[in-house]
Chain A
Amino acid sequence: MGIFRKLRNAGRVILEMVNFYIALAQVWQKNQNRAVTSQKTSGQYFSFSFRHCKPPAPVLEFSQFIQRMAEYKVQFEVFEGPLDLLLYLIKKEEVDIYEVNLTRLATQFIEYIDLMRQFDLEIAGEFLVMASTLMYIKSRELLPVDQQVQVEGEEEGEDPRWELIRQLVEYKKFKDAAARLQVLEAEQENIFPRLPGKLEFESAAPPPRPDVSIFDLLNAVNGVLQRFTRREDQGDIFEDKWIVSEKIEVILRVISGRGSMRFAELFERAASRSEVVCTFLALLELIRLRQLVCSQPEAFGEIEIRLAAPPAETPATPEPAAAPASEPVAAAETNPQSAIPKSQSESHGT
């Protein structure tokens, strides 16, 4: 039982696929020589593109069988609405808008709507409104004037035919105007303005880089320290694994290699609060020694650390670090790039 149902379902799927290909091949056949193209644009109700649509090889063998099947009338252009479709129909009739036969137009319009229905295209409400207007016009023409129902409030002079024609003419004019705009648009793509380079008579000053105050740095390091507020047990006492002089070396090594680094990078690998403090003290020390410069290119931006410009004067008399460091740092006054003797820095310890 179950197997049968599965087989039947599978058969149905295959049948549907075949039907789909047949329809596709028909459509393709009809449009082989016809340039039915469409652009993918917003606001279109339906669009077909057959130009690149090639039927799969096995379907070609079906083609003769297909030709005998019910004829498909595919001659879709892209219509942007009922007025557009009406204009197209009028153009096909090759008559002036003013002289168009609205009753015949109504018939053709409704044929198109039926066609759309065959394709399972969603018919927009505007098309149905237009269809009903056309039907109304057509029905009015079948009645002598004195038997026509006068709609209350409608003026004597208001002829629905005239209303429609007026709307069509107006729409046509704007459609033409749109075409002219399109020409202008295409033309603009080929027009190039003369853009002379900037005349430089003065040496352009580098953009100002506002310096960073000690408070900015403290704020920044506070942000980093937030990471460690909960993690550490305050009760225990650890031996100090980090010393400022070591960190000075690390910072200088990185910066001399790269030229600059971001503030946050300094602390990316910091594992503990004491390490952050230590790194920060090293940074402050290097700034004090005018080895490094901190700047903030934009407000609330990342603080940037760079090597200072060639020092105008080497700090001759290093003061003992006033910061609450556990180990005051031996200033690397003469030769900062070279390793600072660790023993020296430790010997200064309290």
Chain B
Amino acid sequence: MELKLILESLLFSAQKPLSVKELRDVLAAAAGHEAADATAKSLARVKESELTAALEQLVREHETAARSYRLTCVAGSWQFVTQPEFGPWLRALVGVKARPPRLSLPALETLAIISYRQPITRAQIEQIRGVNVDATMQTLMERGLVGAVGRAEVVGRPPTYGTTALFLEYFGLRGLEDLPAADELRRIVIERPPAPVTADPGLATTAPEQLALQPAAPQPGESGNESPVGAKDSSPGQAK
């Protein structure tokens, strides 16, 4: 009997999502049974990495089979869920899911910043959003999506915030690395554009970069071709 099929049967009839550790405990308990056969005994000390690999394979198999349900891992626990496109019928069958109201856009923005940049202080969030986040933070804390995780080692030791397991459950994420575009947003490196940022054709002046070059040329007593750096250095020279 294959490990992945055993796991499938366990997850099929489990009352709640099972973590890899819980699955391993079940396998160990089954091996400890009197009537355990050789297969069960061989799985007594199965590694967690093997279990994960088997589960991943199971996920791929369900994907290729294109069933109406799939195996998924939310916040580290595996379970069978239906595909979202069958929502309308399921709602008719079991009723609307008991979920708190959808989050507002400011709350989602704040949550996005926290989820990608945790641990993060309130001041850092405000710096990114450019507005006060007290109210939104309170909402997020009340809903249990974020929580204080520690204190920043800066003056005042402000509390730092991070997302909770409920956050992963709420968005159906396996873990933080499962966040969309996680690597990109975790630490954004913004390339400085080579061209000058502003140059309004209607304005009398040109960009400051270009202006810096101009005074260098007509200055009397200076040897003609100087670099802009040289032009800057010339002013203290004149004072002498």
Residues of A within 8 A of B13 (CB): 196, 199
Q: How far is the CA of A165 from the CA of B163 in the complex (A)?
A: 28
Question: Is B133 close to A, CB under 8 A?
Answer: yes
Q: Chain B: how many interface residues by the 8 Å CB criterion?
A: 74
Given A103-B198, A188-B171, check contact A145 B109 (CB 8 Å). Answer: no
Q: How far is the CA of A126 from the CA of B106 in the complex (A)?
A: 15
Interface SS of A by simple majority = helix
Minimum C-beta distance from B37 to chain A (A): 22
In contact, B172 and A103 (Cβ under 8 angstroms): no
Residues of B within 8 A of A181 (CB): 108, 111-112, 115, 171, 180
Chain A 68-103 per-residue mask, 1 if CB under 8 angstroms from chain B, else 0: 000000000010111110000000000000111111
Interface residues of A in 183-213 (CB under 8 A from B): 184-196, 198-199
In contact, B106 and A42 (Cβ under 8 angstroms): yes
In contact, B116 and A174 (Cβ under 8 angstroms): yes
In contact, B87 and A189 (Cβ under 8 angstroms): yes
Residues of A within 8 A of B106 (CB): 41-44, 80
Chain B 100-117 per-residue mask, 1 if CB under 8 angstroms from chain A, else 0: 001111111101110110
Residues of A within 8 A of B173 (CB): 184
Given A177-B181, A194-B79, check contact A42 B103 (CB 8 Å). Answer: no
Given A42-B135, A141-B198, check contact A194 B84 (CB 8 Å). Answer: no
Q: How far is the CA of A98 from the CA of B15 in the complex (A)?
A: 53
Question: Is A288 close to B, CB under 8 A?
Answer: no
Residues of A within 8 A of B188 (CB): 169-170, 173
Q: Residues of B at under 8 Å CB distance from A? A: 12-15, 17, 69, 79-88, 90-91, 94, 97, 99, 102-109, 111-113, 115-116, 127-133, 135-136, 139, 170-173, 179-181, 184-185, 188, 190, 192-193, 195, 197-200, 203-205, 207-209, 211-212, 214-215, 232, 235
| 26 A-B contact pairs sorted by A residue (CB < 8 Å) | A39-B105, A42-B104, A42-B135, A43-B136, A80-B129, A100-B198, A101-B200, A103-B200, A124-B132, A126-B130, A143-B208, A144-B205, A144-B208, A162-B192, A171-B128, A173-B188, A174-B109, A174-B112, A178-B109, A179-B108, A181-B180, A185-B103, A188-B99, A191-B81, A191-B82, A194-B79
Q: Which 4 A-B pairs have the closest CB atoms?
A: A190-B87, A41-B104, A81-B131, A43-B106
Q: Residues of A at under 8 Å CB distance from B? A: 39, 41-45, 78, 80-84, 98-104, 124, 126, 130, 140-146, 148, 159, 161-162, 165-167, 169-171, 173-175, 177-182, 184-196, 198-199
